[in-house]
Structure 1
Amino acid sequence: MADTETETDKPPEQADPAAESSPGPARTRRRLDRWKAAFVALLVLGVLGTAAWAVLGSRLLVVRQVEVAGTHLVARDRLVAAAQVQLGHPLARLDTGAVRDRVTALREVESARVERRWPTTVRIVVRERIPLVAVERGGRFYQLDRHGVTVTDTAARPGLPLLVVTAPGPADPATGAALRVLRSLPTRLTGRLVAIEAPGPEDVTLRLKAGTAVVWGAPERAAEKIRLIDALQGTPAGRSARSIDVSSPEVVTTS
Protein backbone atom coordinates (compact mmCIF):
# COMPACT_ATOMS: atom_id res chain seq x y z
CA MET A 1 0.00 0.00 0.00
CA ALA A 2 1.34 3.39 -0.97
CA ASP A 3 2.27 5.74 1.79
CA THR A 4 0.14 8.93 1.87
CA GLU A 5 0.86 12.18 3.63
CA THR A 6 -1.78 13.82 5.69
CA GLU A 7 -1.93 17.43 6.91
CA THR A 8 -0.96 16.25 10.36
CA ASP A 9 2.24 14.84 9.00
CA LYS A 10 3.40 18.23 7.64
CA PRO A 11 6.17 19.88 9.65
CA PRO A 12 5.05 22.99 11.51
CA GLU A 13 5.84 26.31 9.95
CA GLN A 14 8.79 28.08 11.58
CA ALA A 15 8.39 31.71 12.78
CA ASP A 16 10.57 34.25 11.06
CA PRO A 17 13.05 35.51 13.68
CA ALA A 18 13.67 38.71 11.68
CA ALA A 19 9.95 39.53 11.68
CA GLU A 20 9.69 39.06 15.46
CA SER A 21 12.70 41.23 16.21
CA SER A 22 11.71 44.19 14.05
CA PRO A 23 9.28 46.72 15.73
CA GLY A 24 6.00 47.24 14.02
CA PRO A 25 4.52 50.66 13.03
CA ALA A 26 2.22 50.75 16.10
CA ARG A 27 5.11 50.18 18.49
CA THR A 28 7.12 52.89 16.78
CA ARG A 29 4.25 55.36 17.06
CA ARG A 30 3.84 54.62 20.77
CA ARG A 31 7.51 55.22 21.35
CA LEU A 32 7.40 58.52 19.48
CA ASP A 33 4.31 59.60 21.43
CA ARG A 34 6.12 58.94 24.71
CA TRP A 35 9.07 61.05 23.60
CA LYS A 36 6.74 63.85 22.49
CA ALA A 37 4.91 63.81 25.82
CA ALA A 38 8.19 63.93 27.73
CA PHE A 39 9.44 66.80 25.58
CA VAL A 40 6.22 68.79 26.07
CA ALA A 41 6.33 68.20 29.84
CA LEU A 42 9.93 69.40 30.00
CA LEU A 43 9.04 72.41 27.87
CA VAL A 44 6.11 73.34 30.14
CA LEU A 45 8.25 72.96 33.26
CA GLY A 46 10.88 75.16 31.69
CA VAL A 47 8.36 77.87 30.82
CA LEU A 48 6.83 77.75 34.31
CA GLY A 49 10.23 77.87 35.94
CA THR A 50 11.25 80.84 33.83
CA ALA A 51 8.00 82.64 34.59
CA ALA A 52 8.36 81.97 38.33
CA TRP A 53 11.92 83.26 38.27
CA ALA A 54 10.85 86.38 36.36
CA VAL A 55 8.01 87.12 38.80
CA LEU A 56 9.59 86.14 42.10
CA GLY A 57 13.32 86.28 41.75
CA SER A 58 14.46 88.46 38.90
CA ARG A 59 15.02 92.20 38.81
CA LEU A 60 12.45 92.61 36.06
CA LEU A 61 9.26 92.83 38.17
CA VAL A 62 10.32 94.67 41.29
CA VAL A 63 8.92 97.76 43.02
CA ARG A 64 10.36 100.88 41.41
CA GLN A 65 7.79 103.49 42.44
CA VAL A 66 4.98 104.07 44.94
CA GLU A 67 1.90 106.05 43.91
CA VAL A 68 -0.44 107.65 46.46
CA ALA A 69 -4.01 108.85 45.90
CA GLY A 70 -6.68 110.37 48.13
CA THR A 71 -4.46 112.32 50.52
CA HIS A 72 -5.30 115.82 51.74
CA LEU A 73 -4.56 115.84 55.45
CA VAL A 74 -1.59 113.49 55.59
CA ALA A 75 1.57 114.40 53.69
CA ARG A 76 2.57 112.00 50.90
CA ASP A 77 6.10 111.50 52.22
CA ARG A 78 4.77 110.65 55.67
CA LEU A 79 2.33 108.12 54.25
CA VAL A 80 5.00 106.47 52.08
CA ALA A 81 7.32 106.26 55.07
CA ALA A 82 4.57 104.62 57.11
CA ALA A 83 3.83 102.12 54.31
CA GLN A 84 7.44 100.84 54.39
CA VAL A 85 7.40 99.60 50.79
CA GLN A 86 10.98 98.75 49.83
CA LEU A 87 12.08 99.72 46.34
CA GLY A 88 13.62 96.75 44.57
CA HIS A 89 11.41 94.23 46.40
CA PRO A 90 9.73 91.68 44.07
CA LEU A 91 6.25 92.96 43.37
CA ALA A 92 4.67 89.50 43.64
CA ARG A 93 6.09 89.01 47.14
CA LEU A 94 4.71 92.29 48.48
CA ASP A 95 2.44 91.76 51.49
CA THR A 96 -0.31 94.21 50.58
CA GLY A 97 -2.25 93.47 53.77
CA ALA A 98 0.69 94.46 55.97
CA VAL A 99 1.18 97.65 53.96
CA ARG A 100 -2.51 98.50 54.36
CA ASP A 101 -2.36 97.93 58.12
CA ARG A 102 0.64 100.23 58.48
CA VAL A 103 -1.05 102.96 56.47
CA THR A 104 -4.35 102.77 58.37
CA ALA A 105 -2.40 103.13 61.63
CA LEU A 106 -2.02 106.80 60.71
CA ARG A 107 -4.67 108.76 62.57
CA GLU A 108 -5.74 110.69 59.46
CA VAL A 109 -6.49 107.51 57.49
CA GLU A 110 -9.81 105.70 57.87
CA SER A 111 -9.19 103.00 55.27
CA ALA A 112 -6.70 102.14 52.54
CA ARG A 113 -6.38 99.93 49.47
CA VAL A 114 -3.01 98.68 48.21
CA GLU A 115 -2.74 97.64 44.57
CA ARG A 116 -0.01 96.05 42.47
CA ARG A 117 0.33 97.88 39.17
CA TRP A 118 2.44 95.64 36.97
CA PRO A 119 5.20 95.67 36.14
CA THR A 120 6.85 97.93 38.76
CA THR A 121 4.36 100.12 40.66
CA VAL A 122 2.60 99.96 44.02
CA ARG A 123 -0.47 102.20 44.30
CA ILE A 124 -1.91 103.17 47.69
CA VAL A 125 -5.41 104.64 47.66
CA VAL A 126 -6.52 106.08 51.00
CA ARG A 127 -9.78 107.31 52.43
CA GLU A 128 -9.03 109.96 54.97
CA ARG A 129 -11.07 110.71 58.05
CA ILE A 130 -13.26 113.80 57.77
CA PRO A 131 -13.19 116.15 60.78
CA LEU A 132 -16.70 117.06 61.96
CA VAL A 133 -16.18 118.76 65.32
CA ALA A 134 -13.40 120.32 67.35
CA VAL A 135 -12.59 119.80 71.02
CA GLU A 136 -10.61 122.45 72.87
CA ARG A 137 -7.97 121.12 75.25
CA GLY A 138 -4.98 122.99 76.63
CA GLY A 139 -5.13 125.81 74.14
CA ARG A 140 -5.32 123.48 71.10
CA PHE A 141 -8.24 122.33 69.00
CA TYR A 142 -8.46 118.60 68.35
CA GLN A 143 -10.60 117.69 65.35
CA LEU A 144 -12.70 114.52 65.58
CA ASP A 145 -14.29 112.46 62.82
CA ARG A 146 -17.69 110.72 62.81
CA HIS A 147 -16.35 107.94 65.05
CA GLY A 148 -14.88 110.31 67.61
CA VAL A 149 -11.32 109.61 66.48
CA THR A 150 -8.89 112.53 66.61
CA VAL A 151 -7.81 113.36 63.07
CA THR A 152 -5.57 116.37 63.57
CA ASP A 153 -5.01 119.29 65.94
CA THR A 154 -4.28 122.98 65.45
CA ALA A 155 -3.54 126.02 67.56
CA ALA A 156 -6.17 128.10 65.76
CA ARG A 157 -9.84 127.27 66.01
CA PRO A 158 -11.05 125.55 62.82
CA GLY A 159 -14.35 126.33 61.15
CA LEU A 160 -16.08 123.41 62.87
CA PRO A 161 -18.66 123.22 65.66
CA LEU A 162 -17.17 122.81 69.11
CA LEU A 163 -17.94 119.55 70.89
CA VAL A 164 -18.41 119.96 74.61
CA VAL A 165 -18.33 116.61 76.44
CA THR A 166 -16.61 115.32 79.55
CA ALA A 167 -14.41 112.64 77.95
CA PRO A 168 -14.27 113.04 74.16
CA GLY A 169 -13.31 109.93 72.23
CA PRO A 170 -14.62 106.93 70.28
CA ALA A 171 -15.47 104.97 73.44
CA ASP A 172 -17.44 107.79 75.08
CA PRO A 173 -21.27 107.35 74.83
CA ALA A 174 -21.88 111.10 75.05
CA THR A 175 -19.43 111.75 72.19
CA GLY A 176 -21.16 109.07 70.10
CA ALA A 177 -24.60 110.54 70.79
CA ALA A 178 -23.52 114.08 69.89
CA LEU A 179 -21.91 112.94 66.65
CA ARG A 180 -24.97 110.88 65.76
CA VAL A 181 -27.17 113.96 66.18
CA LEU A 182 -24.75 116.04 64.13
CA ARG A 183 -24.81 113.57 61.25
CA SER A 184 -28.61 113.63 61.20
CA LEU A 185 -28.84 117.42 60.77
CA PRO A 186 -29.52 119.02 57.38
CA THR A 187 -27.04 121.56 56.05
CA ARG A 188 -29.42 124.42 56.85
CA LEU A 189 -28.83 123.62 60.53
CA THR A 190 -25.20 122.53 60.47
CA GLY A 191 -24.33 125.81 58.75
CA ARG A 192 -25.68 127.68 61.80
CA LEU A 193 -24.24 125.34 64.41
CA VAL A 194 -21.64 126.83 66.76
CA ALA A 195 -21.37 124.09 69.38
CA ILE A 196 -22.90 120.82 70.40
CA GLU A 197 -23.01 119.93 74.10
CA ALA A 198 -23.62 116.51 75.58
CA PRO A 199 -23.25 116.05 79.36
CA GLY A 200 -24.70 112.58 78.74
CA PRO A 201 -25.86 110.42 75.80
CA GLU A 202 -29.52 111.36 76.41
CA ASP A 203 -28.88 115.08 76.89
CA VAL A 204 -27.68 116.71 73.66
CA THR A 205 -28.04 120.46 73.11
CA LEU A 206 -27.30 122.45 69.93
CA ARG A 207 -25.97 126.00 70.11
CA LEU A 208 -26.82 128.07 67.03
CA LYS A 209 -25.20 131.26 65.73
CA ALA A 210 -28.15 133.45 66.63
CA GLY A 211 -27.69 132.43 70.26
CA THR A 212 -30.55 129.97 70.24
CA ALA A 213 -30.17 126.75 72.22
CA VAL A 214 -31.96 123.72 70.85
CA VAL A 215 -32.47 121.09 73.53
CA TRP A 216 -32.36 117.92 71.46
CA GLY A 217 -32.22 115.21 74.12
CA ALA A 218 -31.52 111.69 72.87
CA PRO A 219 -30.38 111.11 69.27
CA GLU A 220 -33.58 109.26 68.32
CA ARG A 221 -36.53 110.67 66.31
CA ALA A 222 -34.30 113.08 64.41
CA ALA A 223 -36.70 113.60 61.46
CA GLU A 224 -39.56 114.66 63.78
CA LYS A 225 -37.34 117.05 65.72
CA ILE A 226 -36.01 118.68 62.56
CA ARG A 227 -39.57 119.29 61.27
CA LEU A 228 -40.52 120.89 64.59
CA ILE A 229 -37.48 123.18 64.59
CA ASP A 230 -38.20 124.29 61.02
CA ALA A 231 -41.86 124.94 61.85
CA LEU A 232 -41.06 126.93 65.02
CA GLN A 233 -38.43 129.06 63.36
CA GLY A 234 -41.00 130.02 60.75
CA THR A 235 -43.07 131.75 63.44
CA PRO A 236 -42.36 135.03 65.30
CA ALA A 237 -42.28 133.18 68.65
CA GLY A 238 -39.81 130.65 67.35
CA ARG A 239 -37.52 133.25 65.79
CA SER A 240 -37.33 135.24 69.02
CA ALA A 241 -36.95 132.20 71.30
CA ARG A 242 -33.66 131.78 73.14
CA SER A 243 -34.37 128.11 73.80
CA ILE A 244 -36.32 125.48 71.90
CA ASP A 245 -36.90 122.15 73.58
CA VAL A 246 -37.70 119.30 71.17
CA SER A 247 -36.37 116.51 73.38
CA SER A 248 -39.91 115.17 73.61
CA PRO A 249 -41.56 115.84 70.22
CA GLU A 250 -45.04 115.42 71.70
CA VAL A 251 -44.54 118.44 73.96
CA VAL A 252 -42.41 121.25 72.46
CA THR A 253 -41.55 124.29 74.58
CA THR A 254 -39.85 127.60 73.86
CA SER A 255 -38.55 130.34 76.11
Structure 2
Amino acid sequence: MARNRTALSLQERARKAFARRQRARRWLTWRYIVGGTAAVLLLGFGIYALYFSSWLRAEGVELIGNDLVDDKQVLAAAEVPTGDQLVQIDLGSIEKRVKSLAAVKSVDVSRKWPHDIRIEIVERVPIAVLDRGTKVVALDADGNAFPAPQRARDGLPRVKVGAGADRDALREGAAVVAALDGEVAELVDHVEVRTVDEILLHLRDGRLVRWGSADQSEDKAAVLLDLLGQKATTYDVSVPGAPTTR
Protein backbone atom coordinates (compact mmCIF):
# COMPACT_ATOMS: atom_id res chain seq x y z
CA MET A 1 0.00 0.00 0.00
CA ALA A 2 2.77 2.38 0.92
CA ARG A 3 4.47 1.62 -2.38
CA ASN A 4 1.24 2.39 -4.29
CA ARG A 5 0.77 5.68 -2.45
CA THR A 6 4.35 6.67 -3.27
CA ALA A 7 3.79 5.88 -6.95
CA LEU A 8 0.57 7.89 -6.99
CA SER A 9 2.32 10.80 -5.26
CA LEU A 10 5.07 10.82 -7.88
CA GLN A 11 2.52 10.71 -10.68
CA GLU A 12 0.58 13.59 -9.12
CA ARG A 13 3.70 15.71 -8.81
CA ALA A 14 4.59 14.94 -12.41
CA ARG A 15 1.12 15.96 -13.59
CA LYS A 16 1.32 19.20 -11.62
CA ALA A 17 4.78 19.96 -12.98
CA PHE A 18 3.54 19.28 -16.51
CA ALA A 19 0.53 21.53 -15.93
CA ARG A 20 2.80 24.31 -14.67
CA ARG A 21 4.99 24.00 -17.76
CA GLN A 22 1.94 24.16 -19.98
CA ARG A 23 0.66 27.26 -18.22
CA ALA A 24 4.11 28.86 -18.52
CA ARG A 25 4.22 28.10 -22.25
CA ARG A 26 0.74 29.54 -22.75
CA TRP A 27 1.68 32.65 -20.79
CA LEU A 28 4.88 33.06 -22.80
CA THR A 29 2.90 32.69 -26.02
CA TRP A 30 0.43 35.32 -24.88
CA ARG A 31 3.28 37.63 -23.93
CA TYR A 32 4.67 37.33 -27.45
CA ILE A 33 1.24 37.96 -28.94
CA VAL A 34 0.54 40.96 -26.72
CA GLY A 35 4.04 42.36 -27.22
CA GLY A 36 3.87 41.89 -30.99
CA THR A 37 0.43 43.46 -31.16
CA ALA A 38 1.62 46.44 -29.11
CA ALA A 39 4.66 46.86 -31.36
CA VAL A 40 2.49 46.79 -34.49
CA LEU A 41 0.07 49.29 -32.97
CA LEU A 42 2.94 51.54 -31.90
CA LEU A 43 4.50 51.35 -35.36
CA GLY A 44 1.16 52.13 -36.97
CA PHE A 45 0.65 55.06 -34.64
CA GLY A 46 4.13 56.37 -35.46
CA ILE A 47 3.52 56.09 -39.21
CA TYR A 48 0.18 57.84 -38.84
CA ALA A 49 1.69 60.62 -36.72
CA LEU A 50 4.61 61.18 -39.11
CA TYR A 51 2.84 60.89 -42.45
CA PHE A 52 -0.87 61.57 -42.01
CA SER A 53 -1.73 63.46 -38.83
CA SER A 54 -1.75 67.23 -38.34
CA TRP A 55 0.46 66.91 -35.26
CA LEU A 56 3.79 66.98 -37.15
CA ARG A 57 3.13 69.32 -40.06
CA ALA A 58 5.45 72.18 -41.02
CA GLU A 59 4.06 75.43 -39.68
CA GLY A 60 7.02 77.79 -39.57
CA VAL A 61 10.63 78.50 -40.54
CA GLU A 62 13.43 79.45 -38.17
CA LEU A 63 16.21 81.51 -39.78
CA ILE A 64 19.67 81.74 -38.24
CA GLY A 65 22.75 83.66 -39.40
CA ASN A 66 21.33 85.86 -42.17
CA ASP A 67 22.21 89.54 -42.03
CA LEU A 68 23.16 90.63 -45.55
CA VAL A 69 20.17 88.74 -46.93
CA ASP A 70 16.86 89.68 -45.34
CA ASP A 71 14.26 87.18 -44.14
CA LYS A 72 11.94 87.76 -47.09
CA GLN A 73 14.66 86.88 -49.60
CA VAL A 74 15.59 83.70 -47.76
CA LEU A 75 11.99 82.57 -47.36
CA ALA A 76 11.22 83.31 -51.01
CA ALA A 77 14.22 81.27 -52.13
CA ALA A 78 13.60 78.42 -49.66
CA GLU A 79 9.98 77.81 -50.74
CA VAL A 80 9.28 75.74 -47.62
CA PRO A 81 5.97 73.87 -48.19
CA THR A 82 4.24 74.78 -44.94
CA GLY A 83 1.32 72.49 -44.23
CA ASP A 84 3.15 69.41 -45.53
CA GLN A 85 4.22 66.61 -43.22
CA LEU A 86 7.54 67.60 -41.69
CA VAL A 87 9.10 64.20 -42.36
CA GLN A 88 8.30 64.38 -46.09
CA ILE A 89 9.86 67.79 -46.77
CA ASP A 90 12.93 67.59 -49.03
CA LEU A 91 15.63 69.35 -47.00
CA GLY A 92 18.23 69.00 -49.76
CA SER A 93 16.09 70.93 -52.24
CA ILE A 94 15.56 73.75 -49.76
CA GLU A 95 19.28 73.86 -49.07
CA LYS A 96 20.08 74.03 -52.78
CA ARG A 97 17.63 76.88 -53.37
CA VAL A 98 18.92 78.96 -50.45
CA LYS A 99 22.53 78.28 -51.49
CA SER A 100 21.72 79.88 -54.86
CA LEU A 101 21.57 83.27 -53.13
CA ALA A 102 24.85 84.98 -54.01
CA ALA A 103 25.54 86.23 -50.48
CA VAL A 104 25.15 82.76 -48.96
CA LYS A 105 28.40 80.85 -48.53
CA SER A 106 26.92 77.73 -46.95
CA VAL A 107 23.60 76.61 -45.50
CA ASP A 108 22.33 73.80 -43.31
CA VAL A 109 18.64 72.87 -43.30
CA SER A 110 17.14 70.63 -40.62
CA ARG A 111 13.82 69.72 -39.03
CA LYS A 112 12.96 71.30 -35.71
CA TRP A 113 10.29 69.05 -34.28
CA PRO A 114 7.39 69.20 -34.05
CA HIS A 115 6.48 71.99 -36.50
CA ASP A 116 9.43 73.97 -37.90
CA ILE A 117 12.14 73.92 -40.54
CA ARG A 118 15.43 75.44 -39.37
CA ILE A 119 17.65 77.19 -41.94
CA GLU A 120 21.12 78.07 -40.66
CA ILE A 121 23.12 80.32 -42.98
CA VAL A 122 26.78 81.29 -43.18
CA GLU A 123 27.10 84.42 -45.30
CA ARG A 124 30.04 85.63 -47.33
CA VAL A 125 32.15 88.31 -45.64
CA PRO A 126 32.58 91.46 -47.75
CA ILE A 127 36.16 92.76 -47.88
CA ALA A 128 35.82 95.17 -50.80
CA VAL A 129 33.34 96.93 -53.03
CA LEU A 130 33.35 95.81 -56.65
CA ASP A 131 32.64 98.72 -58.97
CA ARG A 132 31.17 97.47 -62.23
CA GLY A 133 30.25 100.88 -63.53
CA THR A 134 26.48 100.72 -63.43
CA LYS A 135 26.39 98.30 -60.51
CA VAL A 136 28.20 98.19 -57.19
CA VAL A 137 28.37 94.91 -55.27
CA ALA A 138 30.42 93.41 -52.47
CA LEU A 139 33.42 91.12 -52.94
CA ASP A 140 34.65 88.41 -50.57
CA ALA A 141 38.18 87.05 -50.08
CA ASP A 142 37.56 84.26 -52.62
CA GLY A 143 36.62 86.71 -55.37
CA ASN A 144 32.88 86.07 -55.21
CA ALA A 145 30.72 89.08 -56.05
CA PHE A 146 27.36 89.42 -54.32
CA PRO A 147 24.80 92.09 -53.47
CA ALA A 148 25.06 93.61 -50.01
CA PRO A 149 23.33 96.53 -48.30
CA GLN A 150 25.04 99.91 -48.18
CA ARG A 151 25.81 99.55 -44.46
CA ALA A 152 27.92 96.45 -45.24
CA ARG A 153 29.86 98.23 -48.00
CA ASP A 154 30.65 101.48 -46.20
CA GLY A 155 34.36 102.01 -45.62
CA LEU A 156 35.50 99.08 -47.77
CA PRO A 157 38.16 99.56 -50.48
CA ARG A 158 36.93 99.72 -54.07
CA VAL A 159 37.92 97.26 -56.78
CA LYS A 160 37.58 98.01 -60.49
CA VAL A 161 37.98 95.35 -63.15
CA GLY A 162 39.25 95.65 -66.69
CA ALA A 163 37.75 94.02 -69.75
CA GLY A 164 40.31 91.20 -69.62
CA ALA A 165 39.68 90.31 -65.98
CA ASP A 166 38.16 86.86 -65.52
CA ARG A 167 37.08 85.04 -62.36
CA ASP A 168 40.67 84.05 -61.53
CA ALA A 169 41.80 87.66 -61.87
CA LEU A 170 39.01 88.78 -59.58
CA ARG A 171 40.07 86.19 -57.03
CA GLU A 172 43.64 87.52 -57.21
CA GLY A 173 42.39 91.07 -56.73
CA ALA A 174 40.41 90.02 -53.67
CA ALA A 175 43.49 88.32 -52.25
CA VAL A 176 45.48 91.54 -52.68
CA VAL A 177 42.83 93.57 -50.85
CA ALA A 178 42.72 91.01 -48.04
CA ALA A 179 46.51 91.20 -47.67
CA LEU A 180 46.70 95.00 -47.37
CA ASP A 181 47.46 96.11 -43.84
CA GLY A 182 45.72 99.14 -42.39
CA GLU A 183 48.52 101.60 -43.13
CA VAL A 184 48.65 100.73 -46.82
CA ALA A 185 44.88 100.36 -47.19
CA GLU A 186 44.34 103.94 -45.95
CA LEU A 187 46.44 105.24 -48.86
CA VAL A 188 44.52 103.33 -51.54
CA ASP A 189 41.69 104.94 -53.48
CA HIS A 190 40.90 101.80 -55.45
CA VAL A 191 42.39 98.56 -56.76
CA GLU A 192 42.35 97.98 -60.51
CA VAL A 193 42.34 94.37 -61.68
CA ARG A 194 43.32 93.98 -65.32
CA THR A 195 44.50 90.37 -65.42
CA VAL A 196 45.71 87.74 -62.96
CA ASP A 197 49.24 89.16 -63.07
CA GLU A 198 48.40 92.83 -63.56
CA ILE A 199 46.88 94.39 -60.48
CA LEU A 200 47.33 98.11 -59.80
CA LEU A 201 46.80 100.20 -56.69
CA HIS A 202 45.62 103.74 -57.34
CA LEU A 203 46.56 105.86 -54.34
CA ARG A 204 44.46 108.76 -53.09
CA ASP A 205 47.14 111.29 -54.03
CA GLY A 206 47.24 110.12 -57.66
CA ARG A 207 50.31 107.89 -57.48
CA LEU A 208 50.23 104.41 -59.01
CA VAL A 209 51.51 101.11 -57.61
CA ARG A 210 52.15 98.17 -59.93
CA TRP A 211 51.43 95.21 -57.69
CA GLY A 212 51.55 92.32 -60.13
CA SER A 213 49.77 89.19 -58.85
CA ALA A 214 48.64 88.41 -55.32
CA ASP A 215 51.80 86.38 -54.64
CA GLN A 216 54.01 87.71 -51.81
CA SER A 217 51.49 90.45 -51.04
CA GLU A 218 52.72 90.87 -47.47
CA ASP A 219 56.29 91.42 -48.69
CA LYS A 220 55.05 93.84 -51.34
CA ALA A 221 53.14 95.87 -48.75
CA ALA A 222 56.24 96.18 -46.55
CA VAL A 223 58.42 97.21 -49.51
CA LEU A 224 55.83 99.73 -50.67
CA LEU A 225 55.81 101.52 -47.32
CA ASP A 226 59.57 102.05 -47.62
CA LEU A 227 59.32 103.19 -51.25
CA LEU A 228 56.59 105.75 -50.67
CA GLY A 229 59.13 107.99 -48.97
CA GLN A 230 60.76 108.47 -52.37
CA LYS A 231 59.39 111.02 -54.81
CA ALA A 232 57.86 109.19 -57.77
CA THR A 233 54.62 108.80 -59.67
CA THR A 234 54.82 105.04 -60.18
CA TYR A 235 56.04 102.34 -57.81
CA ASP A 236 56.58 98.80 -59.04
CA VAL A 237 56.62 96.14 -56.32
CA SER A 238 55.59 93.23 -58.55
CA VAL A 239 58.99 91.71 -57.71
CA PRO A 240 59.39 92.73 -54.06
CA GLY A 241 63.07 91.80 -54.05
CA ALA A 242 63.78 94.28 -56.86
CA PRO A 243 61.30 97.19 -56.66
CA THR A 244 61.53 100.18 -59.00
CA THR A 245 60.18 103.73 -59.13
CA ARG A 246 59.84 106.35 -61.83
* TM-score interval (norm. to shorter): 0.7 to 0.9
2:122 corresponds to 1:127: yes
Q: Which residue of 1 aligns with 2:180?
A: 185
Within 5 A, what are the aligned runs for 1:100-249? 100-131=95-126, 132-137=128-133, 139-152=134-147, 159=155, 160-167=157-164, 172-233=167-228, 236-237=229-230, 240-249=231-240
Q: CA deviation at 1:102?
A: 0.6
* TM-score between both structures, scaled by the size of structure 1: 0.78
Within 5 A, what are the aligned runs for 1:13-52? 24-52=19-47
**Alignment RMSD (CA, Å):** 2.7
Q: Distance in 2 between matches of 1:33 and 1:68?
A: 53
Residues 250 and 167 (structure 1 numbering): CA distance in 2 closer, same or farther, change over 3 Å? closer
Within 5 A, what are the aligned runs for 1:46-125? 46-125=41-120
2:241 corresponds to 1:250: yes
Q: Distance in 2 between matches of 1:142 and 1:107?
A: 11
Residues 188 and 118 (structure 1 numbering): CA distance in 2 closer, same or farther, change over 3 Å? farther
Q: Distance in 1 between matches of 2:67 and 2:164?
A: 28
Q: CA deviation at 1:40?
A: 0.9
Residues 166 and 147 (structure 1 numbering): CA distance in 2 closer, same or farther, change over 3 Å? farther
Q: CA deviation at 1:23?
A: 5.3
Q: Distance in 1 between matches of 2:93 and 2:232?
A: 55
Q: CA deviation at 1:189?
A: 2.6
* TM-score between both structures, scaled by the size of structure 2: 0.81
Q: Distance in 2 between matches of 1:173 and 1:99?
A: 30
Q: Which residue of 2 aligns with 1:9?
A: none
SS in 2 for 1:24: helix
Pair member with larger Rg: 1
Residues 140 and 25 (structure 1 numbering): CA distance in 2 closer, same or farther, change over 3 Å? closer
Q: Is the 8 A contact 2:131 2:137 kept in 1?
A: yes
- Using CA pairs under 8 Å that are at least 6 residues apart, name the structure with larger relative contact order, 1 or 2: 2
More moved, 115-124 vs 96-105: 115-124
Q: CA deviation at 1:154?
A: 9.0
Task: Provide structure 2 residue ranges, at least 5 long, that are not aligned to the other structure.
Answer: 1-10
Cα shift readout 1:47-102 (whole Å, capped 9, x = no counterpart): 22212321232111111111222223323112102111121111122211110101
Q: Is the 8 A contact 1:69 1:124 kept in 2?
A: yes
SS in 1 for 2:132: strand
Name the aligned partner's letter for residue 43 of structure 1. A
Cα shift readout 1:204-242 (whole Å, capped 9, x = no counterpart): 111122333221112212222122123334xx42xx433
The number of equivalent residue pairs is: 229
